């Protein structure tokens, strides 16, 4: 397997395997120039080293653009599924294997199929409070040499979805689209998608379509909030929404909207559905929802695309807030300010220079990392 290398990294690529429990995983620390590598731990049956490398690089730019002192990193555990008992063994086996990197070189956090529960298991195994963020709010610890206790700020508080909503609001202003009544479609209805839905609905947007791995629902007049909230409350698949009109997963991508929000898995927008997309803007809530060549193709068609490392940085900003010991109120204020500022800066320059927003965002992020590299 050819490893893609450049002046930024990756600094470490770690493959681990525990034959006793069958755990196999990857850790990629892209760069520690701005601080310890920060990125979540995903658990899926088909996660690959290449995927983790791509995500680690995305985290490098995300942290740099957000202006927080973290480098980029990511981890993945091949998870075939099973009981909580087995999952705990996998998480703690992985924690033991990479313990020597945490937290000086790597700080973990929630990602696909991991949340506050898994983060508690991780930190219990490493014995180091700072080895991961996204821990339960009830998990508190007094750190050596510091007054008071530091408590977790779980991603279940919705920091990433809240940040995505802020990116949508800022994009709406840039494109002169009134948010009240603006048509929105959301693909992926886990933590990020549900909170994005909730905050945009509160802002007056009209969510007309939602999809997840089970299927899709649609209403041209806007989905019934009571029915959607019932799905969220019961943690159901979107196909279980009672009274909702079902559409095919393929037709979801063809719904005309102001804002399309991919909040699910890597490469969800691809060769099979890209030509059907009818959106004025795509706000990338999920990490790497499409390859860059497809992103460029859609951008040339006039679709404004707010890149993942701009729009979904709420989670890592929340992680930094937890790392610093902030309370949730201060965390949400920090997420709103940083996401709005980053989105505004990128879109203003993109419109002024007539360039793809990703190109602009990357240039800003690279400049920050290179400036720090020149000091060392």
Answer yes or no: 74 catalytic: yes
3-state helix, strand, coil in the chain (%, to 5): 45, 20, 35
Q: Is the peptide bond before 7 cis (omega within 30 degrees of 0)?
A: no
Selecting among 62, 74, 87, 150, the annotated active-site residue is: 74
Q: Assign 18 to helix, strand or coil.
A: strand
Helix axes 116-126, 84-98, angle to 10 degrees: 50
Nearest CA to 1 out of 18, 13, 17 is that of 13
Tokens of 208: 């007309």
Handedness of CA 195, 200, 204, 206 (dihedral sign): negative
Tokens of 349: 């320059």
User: How far is residue 48's CA from residue 144's CA, in Å, rounded to a whole number?
Assistant: 38
Tokens of 31: 């760069």
User: How far is residue 325's CA from residue 137's CA, in Å, rounded to a whole number?
Assistant: 11
User: How far is residue 360's CA from residue 151's CA, in Å, rounded to a whole number?
Assistant: 36
Q: Assign 19 to helix, strand or coil.
A: coil
User: How far is residue 276's CA from residue 375's CA, in Å, rounded to a whole number?
Assistant: 47
Q: Which residues are catalytic?
A: 74
């Amino acid at each position: 397997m050819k490893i893609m290398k450049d002046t930024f990294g990756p600094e470490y690529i770690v493959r681990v395997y525990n034959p006793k429990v069958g755990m196999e995983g990857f850790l990629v620390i892209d760069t520690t120039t701005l601080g310890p590598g920060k990125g979540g731990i995903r658990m899926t049956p088909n996660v690959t080293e290449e995927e983790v490398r791509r995500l680690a690089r995305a985290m490098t730019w995300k942290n740099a653009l957000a202006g927080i002192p973290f480098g980029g990193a990511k981890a993945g555990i091949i998870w075939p599924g099973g009981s909580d008992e087995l999952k705990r063994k996998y998480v703690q086996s992985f924690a033991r294997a990479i313990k020597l990197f945490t937290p000086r070189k790597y700080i973990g956090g929630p990602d696909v199929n991991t949340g506050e529960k898994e983060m508690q298991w991780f930190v219990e195994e490493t014995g180091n409070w700072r080895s991961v963020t996204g821990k339960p709010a009830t998990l508190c610890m007094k750190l050596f040499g510091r007054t008071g206790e530091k408590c977790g700020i779980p991603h279940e508080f919705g920091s990433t979805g809240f940040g995505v909503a802020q990116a949508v609001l800022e994009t709406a202003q840039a494109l002169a689209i009134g948010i009240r009544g603006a048509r929105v479609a959301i693909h992926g209805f886990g933590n990020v998608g549900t909170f994005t839905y909730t905050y945009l609905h509160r802002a007056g947007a009209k969510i007309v379509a939602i999809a997840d791995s089970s299927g899709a629902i649609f209403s041209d007049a806007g989905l019934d909030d009571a029915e959607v909230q019932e799905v969220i409350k019961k943690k159901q698949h979107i196909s279980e929404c009672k009274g909702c009109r079902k559409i095919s997963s393929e037709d979801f991508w063809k719904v005309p909207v102001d804002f399309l929000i991919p909040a699910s898995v890597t490469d969800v927008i691809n060769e099979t559905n890209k030509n059907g997309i009818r959106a004025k803007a795509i706000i990338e809530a999920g990490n790497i929802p499409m390859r860059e060549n497809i992103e460029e193709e859609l951008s040339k068609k006039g679709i404004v695309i707010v890149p993942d490392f701009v729009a979904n940085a709420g989670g890592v900003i929340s992680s930094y807030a937890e790392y610093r010991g902030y309370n949730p109120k201060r965390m949400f204020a920090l997420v709103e300010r940083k996401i709005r500022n980053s989105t505004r800066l990128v879109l203003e320059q993109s419109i002024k220079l007539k360039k793809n927003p990703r190109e602009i965002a990357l240039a800003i992020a690279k400049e920050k990392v290179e400036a720090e590299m020149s000091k060392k």
